[in-house]
Structure 1
Amino acid sequence: MQIAYSLLLVAVPVGTILPQTHFQWSGALYFLFLAVWTIYVGSHRSLGKNPPQSVTFKQGLAAPLFASISLFGFYTLLRFFPNLDIRTFISAYLGVAGVVAVASNLAPPLRSILPNAENVSWRIDFPKWLVEDDGEAVHLTLTPADILATAVGIAAAIASKQSGAPFTLNNFIAVCIVTELLQLLSLGSFATAATMLSGLLLYDVFWVFGSSHVFGDNVMVTVATSPVFDGPMKLIFPQLNANAANPYSILGLGDIAAPGLLIALMLRFDRSRSKGLSGADKTADSQKLPADKTYFITCIASYIFGLTVTVVANTVSGAAQPALLYLVPSLLFGVFIVAASRSEASLLLDYKEEFLPIAVKGDDTLE
């Protein structure tokens, strides 16, 4: 994992140099490198001590609908309420999320660099009324590594908002947010993953290709390229033939996070198989890396293929492409091929993770 973290951090200075090469495919290679290593790091972080919360089948089914409502809501605000200042709120929200994500990502490697500092820690107790946790006392233990990581996160968030800040700083915060999401969230089962990703594929296709026919405007592109949403919500890279309206090529974080959740799930499935557990049993020791990563490696290869096809389609058509249109079929097909070739289709379909479901207010019977 230390090597993976290092490679991810190397992308910051390298990304700044690449635009100067004027190589036509530099942006595509940069996006591909960042996306793959973000998923790799996030997937392995999901094997840590704290198991991720699990998405139920109903929540996975509803995810594309909620995503559509959110997207169209933002589009409505941009089009009909142009004077409404939502940029400050969004910047503040993303700033806090970025600080937390950067701190969470940097703390583990800093602990290994500063091992003796672990002997020093500070405990902060929170009132029970402030954080609900089954009646138990809630506290936070901070070490020097945690404080240093948080300071770096705050500095990165502030610096990214300054005029002339390198675009790679935005991307660094963005990939930290995705790796944090992959660590904290599980799709629970392959059935939930396949259902949610299929729904998000339809969501992506409609809002990129179909929305202009319904609303007279490309809703997805309008929101994604709006300066209101300028921040670590996407990866950016300077275009060779940039103009004032579209200075950057864009890869949305959803095109990394959504497939990444399936890939992380398959890494944990590999782990359960390597421990000889059945699909319906509890998962294996979360501290152990799987000896056989067949499904995980297949998914990584499928993701690379799907994202490459997306780039080619974008280059040939000269128009924005719904990346999930190419990524989702590539991933699901790859998983099915491996499962069929190993006679593990039933094991895959029966696999469920015994994690805590995501709490939803007013819903006491989550499945």
Structure 2
Amino acid sequence: MAVLARLLVGLALIAQVTCEYGMVHVIAEPGNGKGKDYCILYNSQWAHLPPGLGKASLLQLQDQTTSVLCSQSDVPSGGFNNRIPMVMRGNCTFYEKVKLAQMNGARGLLVVSREKLVPPGGNKTQYDEIGIPVALLSYKDMLDICKTFGHSVRVALYAPKEPVLDYNMVIIFIMAVGTVAVGGYWAGSQDVKKRFMKHKRDDGTEKHDDETVDVTPIMIGVFVVMCCSMLVLLYYFYDHLVYMIITIFCLASSTSLYSCLYPCIKRLPFGKCRVPDNNLPYFHKRPQIRMLLLAIFCITVSIIWGVFRNEDQWAWVLQDALGIAFCLYMLKTIRLPTFKACTLLLLVLFIYDVFFVFITPFLTKSGNSIMVEVAAGPSDSTTHEKLPMVLKVPRLNSSPLALCDRPFSLLGFGDILVPGLLVAYCHRFDIQVQSSRVYFVACTIAYGIGLLITFVALAWMQRGQPALLYLVPCTVITSFVIALWRKELRMFWTGSGFADPNKEWINPTLQADQLSDPPVSLEKTADASEPLSSAPSDSEPANQDNKDQPHQEIGEAHQTR
């Protein structure tokens, strides 16, 4: 399960992307009656559409839906003569269709698709040859045009500008920062609890917590190689691998949801009865009824998402819930033991993110970024599936593009997990040095600032951004400066000793309790020849069981200090 989880984390390192939607305004040929807008999907690399209806040319639409416009025989005798032909999709490439239309005098091309709309793609050379726009129109909208306006209509193609920032950015920001804050706090608290229970001599508590995985430099290298390999494989074999990724996500997210809800269900006062004795696999340990019901619930949620994942109206809510649970689970499970390991991981993934977004367009034939291509789904994909390793929220503005299948704003899980591991480390270090969570709070705020900078860069450049380009410097530099300011850089860099499993662990909660009473020094007590058993040892919790410990054993604990 750990290997699959790491694979999903690698696939989560993707950028934020959007689709290119436009509008076709239709009015009846005789008269200037009220028109109607329909959604189209276009590729601006063929030709740009004007930003407003007032700047668009109103041209006659020529209905050629009885043909697919793949050969000269499909062109009417008089050509298209400054009109926009409407043809069916299929039998040849978009380039062949639009080239024929342009050669025969068309001013644009509408391709009717019975399938899900995809941006009409081509390569850089083909884009340079074409000077007219080409767009896809759904078959349903084509039927509505014919029914409402007949076959003699005029149309205008345009692409209204979306607002620079959408309200969905606020939702994504809250989900991302909230997940990082909660995950980092939970991971640090769980780590302290595990270490304290490990050093307790009276170990009679129930053990359910998942084991953590300490990340080593070798693991970081292997992980990055896996990320690169999987991304390239998806670029070339997307249709063959996308269903495997969806299946893995369903399995991992259901396990993660169970792990996140377990502490809450465990507190319920009912459902504690257990399954009767049996020899069935996974049931022979007689799990509690409430935990069995929780497992069924988590699996059901995952299956519902898997079946209805392409329902854009509501499936994104389930995907985000499962994604947040997955991120929280990974932040709790994966542990970076030192700031040195944190810096190494974040810097390597920083280079990885920038390379696959900004450098790979110079290495691919299409001139597209490998990461953005995989994140959005290749335009020539036959499955039209999307990778689920993102938080997604639909556009919430009220522009004319609301008629379209609303484009989503996306944020990859990797943009949450990678900085989140540093936030979790900061919380553990806070507890170790009792710094009132200054590292944790500062790093979380730095993450939020980095995410805001990412959104500003996205709005300014109007293209997918490698979020780690902004998140890594903000979080790493902030953590470094705080450690330098507090003169704890050496301890922060090496982990202050809690990276060493053999070092004695001090429970800060108990220590704070001890300080509430008049302080009693062990050295002073020894000098006064008072019984050492009256003062709790710093190496273990002060509880009733300490009274049963031999005097010699506590004295030895004092001597080892």
TM-score interval for Structure 1 and Structure 2 normalised by the shorter chain: 0.7 to 0.9
Structure 2 residue 385 is matched with structure 1 residue 234:
no
How far off its partner does 1:62 sit?
A: 4.1
Q: Any conservation in 2 of the 1:122–1:142 contact (CA below 8 Å)?
A: no
In the superposition, relative to structure 1, how do residues 122 and 39 fare at CA in structure 2: closer, same or farther (>3 Å)? farther
Contact 1:123 1:141 in 2 (8 A): yes
Alignment gaps of 5+ in structure 1: 1-21, 131-138, 275-290, 357-367
Paired position in structure 2 for 1:311: 455
Which of residues 302, 318, 333 is equivalent to 2:446?
A: 302
Q: Cα deviations across residues 319-344 of structure 1 (Å, max 9, x unaligned)?
A: 11100000000001110111111001
Are the structure 2 counterparts of residues 141 and 107 from structure 1 closer, same or farther at C-alpha, using a change threshold of 3 Å?
A: farther
Once the 2 structures are TM-superposed, how far is the Cα of residue 43 of structure 1 from its aligned partner?
2.0
Distance 1:329 1:24, change over 3 A: closer
Q: 1:342 aligns with which of 461, 480, 486?
A: 486
The offset of 1:120, in angstroms, is 3.9
Q: What are the equivalent positions in structure 2 for 1:106-255 lying under 5 Å apart?
A: 106-112=261-267, 114-118=268-272, 120=274, 142-160=287-305, 161-162=307-308, 163=311, 164-215=313-364, 216-226=367-377, 230=386, 232-239=388-395, 240=397, 241=401, 247-255=407-415
Find the structure with the greater CA-based Rg: 2
Question: Are residue 44 (structure 1) and residue 185 (structure 2) matched?
Answer: yes
* CA separation of 1:111 and 1:314: change in aligned 2, threshold 3 A: same
User: Which whole-Å CA distance do the structure 1 matches of 2:279 and 2:433 have between them?
Assistant: 40
Q: Mean Cα displacement is larger for which, 28-37 or 252-261? A: 28-37
Secondary structure of residue in 2 paired with 1:201: helix
C-alpha deviation, 1:294, in angstroms: 0.6
Say how many residue pairs are matched: 304
* TM-score normalised by length of structure 1: 0.75
Instruction: Give the stretch that moved more between structures: 144-153 or 263-272.
Output: 144-153
- The 1:154–1:39 alpha-carbon spacing in structure 2 relative to 1, beyond 3 Å, is same
Deviation at 1:96, TM superposition (A): 1.0
Higher relative contact order (CA 8 A, sep 6+): 1
Match of 2:168 among 7, 21, 27: 27
> Does the aligned pair in 1 maintain the 2:224–2:349 contact within 8 Å?
yes
Do 1:171 and 1:232's aligned partners in 2 also have CA atoms closer than 8 Å? no
**Identity score, percent:** 27
**Which residue matches 1:100?**
255
- What secondary structure does 2:392 align onto? strand
Amino acid at match of 1:109: C
Q: Take 1:184 and 1:346, find their aligned partners in 2: how far apart are those partners?
A: 26
Q: CA deviation at 1:23?
A: 10
What is the Cα deviation at residue 39 of structure 1? Answer: 1.7
Higher share of residues assigned helix: 1
Normalising by the residue count of structure 2, what TM-score does the alignment of the two structures yield? 0.50
**What's the CA shift for 1:45?**
2.9
Distance apart, 1:231 and its partner CA: 5.3
Q: Compute the displacement of 1:217 (Å).
A: 2.1
CA RMSD of aligned residues (A): 2.9
In the alignment, structure 2 segments of 5+ residues that lack a partner are: 1-162, 195-208, 378-382, 503-561
Q: Secondary structure at the match of 2:411?
A: strand
Secondary structure at the residue paired with 1:142?
coil
